[in-house]
Structure 1
Amino acid sequence: MSRPHPAVWLRDEPPPRRPRLTRERITEAAVALLDAEGVPGFSMRRLAARLGAGTMSLYEYVPAKEDLFDLALDTVMAEIDLPEPATARPPDWRAELTRQAVQSRRVMRRHPWMTELIGTRPLLGPNALSRSERFHAALAAAGFAGAELVAAAGAVSSYVHGYVVTENVWRTRMRDPAEERELRRRAQEYLAGESGRYPVLSEHSRLEDADFDAGFRSGLEIVLDGIAARLTR
């Protein structure tokens, strides 16, 4: 006579098997590791430890560390919203460029490692290309073409990238608001005392102003004004 099968609640069940790795899961962990450690602290060994996997098993899905950088970059590019156009008409070029520039800065502030990889890796992933397509299409609809279109797009992108690089470095090294205010005050005071040697800097610099948001928007408006002036020629 066979023994009765015990109820599930009375049995010690073996732990479920860990699901196999996927490229998506590896990429998600890579983004988290880059957020935590930056590019210098990134390694396949550390990534494998986060996933609870063997280092060599990662290479079955991603052949090289650089491939993970490409995948991670394109994943976070999706955080730049790409809403459907409200109408069939070409987008307002200035509004479109402003929207993407502002959001790009936010994403690069959220993931500081992006500024280190952008420019060293080709941005050919679907998320990056779809946003670049919208960016360039707005300029094309405004009247730019060829080399001038590329230059106009590059001017905005380079401004955003350069601004965020400086902002990220500053925020990394200057974490205490009170210390920052004191440093800015002393620097402004120093320039005031050197007005004879640096009259323009002394008169116009606003070193005590720590409003990065306003500074970014003001600089962006100047870049866009230059593009607009070019269109009127």
Structure 2
Amino acid sequence: MPRSRPPAVWFAEEPHRKPRLSRERITRAAVSLLDADGVEGLTMRRLAARLEAGTMSLYEYVGSREDLLDLAVDEVIAEIEVDGVDHAPWREALTRQLTRSRRVMRRHPWLPALMATRPLLGPHALARSELIYSILDRAGLQGPHLSAGVAALTYYVQGYTATENLWRGSHRDPEAETELRRRAQRYLDGRKELHPTLARHADLDNNDFDGSFRLGLDTVLDGIAARIGA
């Protein structure tokens, strides 16, 4: 009969083992493998080969591949800097912090999807969640409006960056991308009578991800500011 284990890796203490392997070393190797091959490329066998260890030896430090994903997520979330926002105005603090989050999600393209589907209970994830909640709390949001504000910002950043990562991963030739955008815009311009609003505003030629991200973030923050004012 298989032994029972806690429902999340964070509820169990790491056992003391010989120093050749450690949970930290295994986690760092998992992050490296995820960066190279994505979530589908992370298997315990491939990870063991990278560490020059036996596959079963990994299970002495992590209970499952799912636990390993949680550890890897928290490892890279630690890269999101948290300094310099404690005393800044709330909009400036959130813009700075969420821009940092996007930067880390760009560096690790697998991160947005896992952040949206894993229990973010690691120490680094909780510390950064606490920071976002505290900024909005100081700004004046309370109760359900506070939770809704955090969710709107979180889903915007994760969704935008996940889409950006997929697009950049699929279109690596700048000239080919520019030509594709021009053809798409011309196609839409030729259908103004059917889709007049799209033809006027879709702006398919625009490939400024940074500017579009900031404009969208400002739009979400405007809504939060209106709620605070109300």
TM over 0.5, yes or no?
Answer: yes
Aligned position for 2:66? 66
The CA deviation at 1:82 is 1.2
Aligned position for 2:170? 173
What amino acid does structure 2 have at the position aligned with 1:163?
Y
Aligned position for 1:192? 189
Aligned position for 1:227? 224
Aligned position for 1:26? 26
Q: Which moved more, 1:113-122 or 1:57-66?
A: 113-122
Whether 1:130 aligns to 2:127 is yes
Whether 1:92 aligns to 2:84 is no
Aligned position for 1:79? 79
CA distance in 2, matches of 1:204, 1:140: 35
Judge conservation of contact 1:108–1:164 (CA < 8 Å) in 2. yes
The CA deviation at 1:35 is 0.4
What percentage of residue pairs aligned between the two structures are identical? Answer: 59
What amino acid does structure 2 have at the position aligned with 1:207?
L
Aligned position for 1:38? 38
Q: Deviations along 1:36-88, whole A, 9 cap, x unmatched?
A: 0100111000000000000000001111111111111011011110116665x
- SS of equivalent to 1:118: helix
- SS of equivalent to 2:106: helix
**C-alpha RMSD over aligned residues:** 1.4
Whether 1:140 aligns to 2:137 is yes
Q: Which has the larger radius of gyration?
A: 1
The CA deviation at 1:231 is 0.8
Judge conservation of contact 2:80–2:104 (CA < 8 Å) in 1. yes
Judge conservation of contact 1:70–1:123 (CA < 8 Å) in 2. yes
Whether 1:103 aligns to 2:112 is no
Judge conservation of contact 2:34–2:110 (CA < 8 Å) in 1. yes
TM (norm. structure 2) is 0.89
CA distance in 2, matches of 1:86, 1:100: 11
What amino acid does structure 2 have at the position aligned with 1:192?
D
Of residues 206, 210, 231, the one that matches 2:207 is: 210
Give the length in aligned residue pairs.
Answer: 213
Aligned position for 1:55? 55
Of residues 121, 135, 156, the one that matches 2:153 is: 156
The CA deviation at 1:116 is 2.1
Judge conservation of contact 2:94–2:132 (CA < 8 Å) in 1. yes
- SS of equivalent to 2:215: helix
What amino acid does structure 1 have at the position aligned with 2:229?
T
Aligned position for 1:121? 118
CA distance in 1, matches of 2:137, 2:46: 44
The CA deviation at 1:119 is 2.1
Q: Deviations along 1:150-208, whole A, 9 cap, x unmatched?
A: 00011000000110111111111111111101100001111111111111111122111
What amino acid does structure 1 have at the position aligned with 2:101?
S
Where do 4+ consecutive residues of structure 1 move more than 2 Å?
84-87
Judge conservation of contact 1:39–1:116 (CA < 8 Å) in 2. no
The CA deviation at 1:148 is 0.8
Q: Deviations along 1:102-139, whole A, 9 cap, x unmatched?
A: 01111111101112211221101111111111110011
Judge conservation of contact 1:78–1:127 (CA < 8 Å) in 2. yes
Q: Which moved more, 1:97-106 or 1:216-225?
A: 97-106
- SS of equivalent to 1:210: coil
Of residues 198, 202, 210, the one that matches 1:201 is: 198
Judge conservation of contact 2:112–2:158 (CA < 8 Å) in 1. yes
CA distance in 2, matches of 1:192, 1:80: 41
